[in-house]
Amino acid sequence: MSLPPPIELSSANGSGAAYAHGAHLTAWTPAGSDPVIWLSALARFKPGVAIRGGVPIVFPWFGAGRSGKLNPAHGFARTRVWDLASSAPEGDDVVAEFVLEGSGTDEPEFPYAFSARYEVRLGAALQLSLTVTNNDSQPFSYEEALHAYLRVGDVRQVVVEGLGGCSYLDQADPSGVRVRTQSGRVTFSGETDRIYGAAGQVRVVDPVLGRTLVIDKQNSASTVVWNPWIDKAASLEDFGDDEWPSMICIEGGNLREASVRLQPTETHTMRYSVRVDPSDSGE
Ligand code: TA6
Give the tens place of pLDDT for each residue, 61-109: 999 999 999 999 999 999 999 999 999 999 999 999 999 999 999 999 9
What's the pLDDT score for residue 17? 98
Tell the residue nearest (CA) to atom 6 of ligand 1.
193
Rounded-to-integer distance, Cα 278 and Cα 4, Å: 35
What CA–CA distance (Å, rounded) separates 258 from 29? 32
Prediction pTM value: 0.97
Ligand 1 centroid vs 228 CA: distance in angstroms? 9
C-alpha–C-alpha distance, residues 193 and 244, integer Å = 13
Averaged pLDDT, 100-129? 96
Substitution candidate for ligand 1 out of 44, 74, 171, 238 with most atoms within 8 A of CB: 74
Q: Look at residue 281 in the predicted model and tell me its pLDDT.
A: 62
Q: Which atom of ligand 1 is nearest the CA belonging to 224? A: 1
Q: Is the pLDDT of residue 144 over 70?
A: yes
Which residues are known catalytic residues? 147, 251
Ligand 1 pocket, 143 CB below 6 A?
no
CB 160 within 8 A of CB 183: no
- 78-88 in b/e form (b: 16+ CB < 10 A) is bbbebeeeeee
Query: Hey, whose CA ends up nearest to atom 14 of ligand 1?
Result: 73
Q: Is the pLDDT confidence value at 282 over 80?
A: no
Q: Is 50 in the pocket of ligand 1 (CB under 6 A)?
A: yes
Could you tell which of 40, 78, 188, 193 is best to mutate to test the pocket of ligand 1, judged by most ligand atoms within 8 Å of the CB? 193
* Total number of residues shown for the chain: 283
End-to-end CA distance of the chain: 47
Residue 1 pLDDT grade (very low, low, confident, very high; cuts 50, 70, 90) = confident
List all residues 6 or more positions away from 70 whose beta carbon is below 8 Å from its beta carbon: 61, 64, 109
